[in-house]
Amino acid sequence: MCRVIAIANQKGGVGKTTTCVNLGIGLAREGKKILLVEADAQGSMAVSLGISEPDELDVTLVNILEKVINDEDLESGEGIIRHDEGIDFIPANLELAGLETALVNVMSRELILRQYLNEIKGEYDYILIDCMPSLGMITINALVAADSVLIPVEAAYLPVKGLQQLIKTIGRVHRKLNPELSIMGILLTKVDRRTNFARDISSQIREVYGNNIHIFNNCIPLSVRAAETTAEGKSIYLHDPKGIVADGYRFLTGEVMADEE
């Protein structure tokens, strides 16, 4: 059984892409077959995985979804790129922003991504979707396609404040479009363990949401090394294998796999 996990937060800069890449590669290192799907027009995931110019790619998620919309046949493996660290991924670029606008006039517009993933999910144990920092139609597509949502939240005041809106949107999608959708948990990211402020925010999130939503036991610490991986085109496990961020993502991988049982 393949599990589809949307990694979502309408606030940018909270570590969605870093989490998607390092959780995906962490799961692959445990022997799982992984597909990462970039549902973000910024192309950050493609860059993180070594594609220096995503806007120059011939085939991206946009081309795949356009074929689904037009009922055109897809070739096996079309648009899927293999990464050296044992995962497959589908990149995106700026064209995705144009598709979001075009989807408004498409029949069953919320179901396009799910229709595509249903055709290929038999080949994978996990599909992780890196959502764009908005609650637009592409993000709705990701939530409709997903079994669960992992919410990275930076340990700071404003990102926490916006969390309620995202939870309401997930609730609406659950009620109206995808009754199987659940929240896997909230992952605290960029936690500066040296400050009382970060500890206060972490405590606040556990106090407000902890009774209804799982809060991952382990947080992802603030680290310059994590930011450097984007430029390197490889995971934290290769860039800084003994660092605190690599440890954080190893623990997260273990928690996600334990959730299978």
Quote the domain boundaries for residue 182: 3-258
Total domain count, the chain: 1
Q: pLDDT digit string (tens) for 59-95?
A: 999 999 999 999 999 999 999 999 999 999 999 999 9
Quick count: other Cβ atoms within 10 Å of Cβ 150?
Answer: 25
Inter-residue contact 45 to 16 (CB < 8 Å): no
Q: In the prediction, which pLDDT does 157 show?
A: 64
Q: pLDDT digit string (tens) for 2-45?
A: 999 999 998 888 889 999 999 999 999 999 999 999 999 999 99
Q: pLDDT digit string (tens) for 117-134?
A: 999 999 999 999 999 998
Task: Name residue, tokens 């809106």.
Answer: 165
Q: pLDDT digit string (tens) for 178-233?
A: 999 999 999 999 888 777 777 788 888 888 888 899 999 888 988 877 777 767 77
Amino acid at 62: V
Task: Name residue, tokens 């919309």.
Answer: 69
Q: In the prediction, which pLDDT does 101 show?
A: 86
The DSSP secondary structure of 49-117, one letter per residue, reads: TT-S-GGG-SS-HHHHHHHHHTTPPPPTTTT-EE-TTS-EEE---THHHHHHHHGGGSTTGGGHHHHHH
CATH number of the CATH domain containing 34: 3.40.50.300
Lowest mean pLDDT among 2-6, 152-156, 168-172, 255-259: 152-156
- Three-state DSSP state, 28: helix
Q: In the prediction, which pLDDT does 215 show?
A: 92
Q: In the prediction, which pLDDT does 159 show?
A: 57
Q: In the prediction, which pLDDT does 158 show?
A: 60
Q: pLDDT digit string (tens) for 43-54?
A: 999 999 999 899
What global pTM score does this model have?
Answer: 0.94
